[in-house]
Amino acid sequence: MTRQEAGLRLSRRQLLAAGLGLTGTAVTGAALNRAWWLLSREDLIPGAAPTLQLEPHRWQTEPDRLTVAAIGDSGSGGRQAMAVAEQRALSYRRRPFGLVSLLGDICYYGPIRRRFDDAFARPMSPLINAGVDFELAIGNHDGGLFFDDLALAEIEDTLELLGTPGRYFTSTHGPADFFYLDSSKPAILGPDGALQLEWLDDTLGSATSQWRIVALHHPIYSSGSHGPTPHLDGLVEPILQRHRVDLVLAGHDHHYERTVPVDGVTYVVSGGGCKTTPVTPQPYTAVAESALQFMHIDIDGDRLTGRSIGPTGRLVDRFELRAREGRR
Amino acid sequence: MISRRLLGPALAAFALLDLAIIVAPSLVLAGAAQKGGLVGAHGLDLVVASSVLGSSHAALVWIRLRRQLLRYADTADVLIATLNATVVVALATTMLLLVVLGGFAPQHAVLVNRGWPVLGLWIGMHLVAMALAEVTRSLVLRWLDPHGNGPSSRAVRAEMHR
């Protein structure tokens, strides 16, 4: 009589193999759940760089006019990053800009020395060839209260490759002063944190341009997966309010979000440079969307128009700000 | 031998599961791109490639399983080996993508820059995952029946012994 005729009696090997298969099924279920979640939030498929040829130096920056693009978290070199990069180049063709404000995380999946060409130079190549300038608010590197050697080396490499003057700095373009911060925890709460905050206070206090725009990687207000950055709201936010900053641009969370003015300051998260994560709007949110996007900002006299543009050219958001009274 | 009443559902379950787990990563990627605003054909090439490969492998699983389940008296070996192979193809299809694409991003970027299509890499990883599943199925069957010539040998021996 066979085993089956005698009922379902399995041999020891069959039991072992069946047990392995069933255990594998349970483990695989949990692993795939996590892996697919990760896959949906990354941009791992390498992409082909945009090949658009742009007319160099077509922008016009005047004392009362400026056009600038801003993008955060774009450093994958993947297909989604390239789709956004192509749209950014097309946007230059429609409304040329001479400056791109980078809101951090310009390189994922490896050290920047190794990935610079693939994660930055290739996607940006149409703009680089057109002579556009890049200014960077550096990204993460905030494992603890102190930078470790690896983080410091990565920061140094990033600043050198981009030609960025320092971890925090200011620049003036037409009617706007830009203030780039290192918003990582060690740079705010660490031993040199007070220096940066003092510098910000002083520099904002002596700013003379009509518009004041602050760019940093970690958002002060965000409804995304990282959320607001706790070490910024008590230390940086009061300085921004005191000096009546107009617009704060951040990345870090991979979505688009604009707040209602908070004590007169409008906060934007523009972290959809190559990946997306979910967003749940909070009471301070005016517009929020989990979307690939970049920012296109026009300043014309006392009016600033911000546009968040998706990878197909769709307008994710459009807003207008008026210059603060007393500034000209 | 499995009854004909159970044969259809068993075949359909394994074949559909096989197809679903092979196609799933491409659907996850296409879905994420759509959600991010990349409407249209973005990621469709990967979905089509996975569907073609997944359908072929599912058909192979269906045909082989049907033949073995109808022919052999002792079906436990066949079902256990197929279960283990399904687990391997599920894990390998997704994990290979994460490890190979995430861990070797600079190398792939270089290939893409030289005009090497991503689709080739994608198909290659799927074929490796399927090959791993086939090897697993074969090894498990051999381990379960080390002296026999196939899944039926134990049943035949048992019959002769009787």
Taking only the tens place, the pLDDT of each residue in B34-68 is 999 998 778 899 999 999 999 999 999 999 988 88
Pairing of strands A294-300, A285-289: unpaired
Q: How many angstroms separate the CA atoms of B47 and A183, rounded?
A: 40
A113 → chain B, closest CA residue: B106
Determine which of A205-219, A264-278, B32-46 has the lowest per-residue pLDDT on average.
B32-46
- Tell me which amino acid residue A12 is: R
Structure confidence by residue, pLDDT tens digits, A109-163: 989 999 999 999 999 999 999 999 999 999 887 667 788 888 889 999 999 999 9
- Looking at residue A199, its pLDDT comes to 98
- Set of chain A residues whose Cβ sits within 8 Å of the Cβ of B126: none
B80 → chain A, closest CA residue: A18
Q: pLDDT band at residue B148, thresholds of 50, 70 and 90?
A: low
Instruction: Return the higher-pLDDT residue of B69 and A62.
Output: A62
Q: What residue has token string 């490969």?
A: B53
Q: Provide the residue count of chain B.
A: 162
- Looking at residue A209, its pLDDT comes to 95
Instruction: Return the higher-pLDDT residue of A209 and A327.
Output: A209
Q: Which residues pair with A142 in a beta bridge?
A: none
Q: How many angstroms separate the CA atoms of A13 and A52, rounded?
A: 62
pLDDT above 60 for A3: no
- Looking at residue B154, its pLDDT comes to 52
- Looking at residue A1, its pLDDT comes to 45
Q: Per 3-state DSSP, what percentage of chain A is helix, strand, and coil (rounded to 5)? A: 30, 25, 45
Q: pLDDT band at residue A324, thresholds of 50, 70 and 90?
A: confident
**Residue-wise burial string across B94-133, b where 16 or more C-beta atoms lie within 10 A, e elsewhere:** bbbbbebbbeebbebbebbeeeeebeebbbebbeebbebb
Percentage of chain A exceeding pLDDT 70: 97
- Set of chain A residues whose Cβ sits within 8 Å of the Cβ of B75: 4
pLDDT above 60 for A72: yes
Q: How many angstroms separate the CA atoms of A319 and B70, rounded?
A: 68
Q: pLDDT band at residue B73, thresholds of 50, 70 and 90?
A: low
Structure confidence by residue, pLDDT tens digits, B89-139: 999 999 999 999 888 888 888 888 777 788 999 999 999 999 999 999 999
Determine which of A253-257, A288-292, B140-144 has the lowest per-residue pLDDT on average.
B140-144
pLDDT above 60 for B152: no
pLDDT above 70 for B150: no
- Looking at residue B149, its pLDDT comes to 54
Distances (CA, A) of A3 to A11, A270, B149: 9, 65, 19
Which residue of A12, A32, A88, A312 to mutate against B (max B Cβ within 10 Å)?
Answer: A32
Helical spans, DSSP H, in A125-227? 125-129, 149-162, 185-189, 193-205
pLDDT above 60 for B162: no
- Set of chain A residues whose Cβ sits within 8 Å of the Cβ of B88: 24
Q: How many angstroms separate the CA atoms of B80 and A25, rounded?
A: 12
Angle at A99 between CA A199 and CA A261, to 5 degrees: 60
Q: pLDDT band at residue B159, thresholds of 50, 70 and 90?
A: very low
Eight-class DSSP state of A315: E
Q: How many angstroms separate the CA atoms of A49 and B44, rounded?
A: 19
Q: Provide the residue count of chain A.
A: 328
Q: Which residues pair with A136 in a beta bridge?
A: A102
**Residue-wise burial string across A302-314, b where 16 or more C-beta atoms lie within 10 A, e elsewhere:** bebebbbbbbeee
CA-closest candidate to residue A120, choices A182, A74, A156:
A74
pLDDT above 50 for B160: no
pLDDT above 50 for A6: no
Mean pLDDT over A249-276 rounds to 97
- Coil vs helix vs strand at B4: helix
Locate B28 and state its tokens: 């996850």
pLDDT above 70 for A106: yes
Q: In what order do the strands lie in the sheet with A285-289?
A: A169-173, A176-180, A211-215, A247-250, A266-270, A256-259, A285-289
8 Å CB contact of B105 and A46: yes
Q: How many angstroms separate the CA atoms of A262 and A266, rounded?
A: 6
Counting beta carbons within 10 angstroms of the beta carbon of residue A190, is it exposed (0 to 12), middle (13 to 18) or buried (19 or more)?
Answer: middle
A vs B: CB pairs below 8 A: 152
Which among B86, B88, B94 is the nearest to A32, CB-wise?
A: B94
8 Å CB contact of A32 and B32: no
Helical spans, DSSP H, in A50-118? 79-94, 112-115
Contact between A165 and A137 (Cβ < 8 Å): no
B95 → chain A, closest CA residue: A35
Locate B136 and state its tokens: 């697993």
- Set of chain B residues whose Cβ sits within 8 Å of the Cβ of A310: 37
Eight-class DSSP state of A87: H
Structure confidence by residue, pLDDT tens digits, A288-303: 999 999 999 999 999 9
Percentage of chain A exceeding pLDDT 90: 87
Angle at A298 between CA B38 and CA A74, to 5 degrees: 40
- Looking at residue A7, its pLDDT comes to 53
- Looking at residue B1, its pLDDT comes to 54
Q: Which residues pair with A172 in a beta bridge?
A: A177
Q: What residue has token string 């009589």?
A: A1
ipTM reported for the complex, 2 dp: 0.87
Contact between A303 and A321 (Cβ < 8 Å): yes
Contact between A47 and A77 (Cβ < 8 Å): yes
Distances (CA, A) of B115 to A49, A148, B112: 11, 38, 5
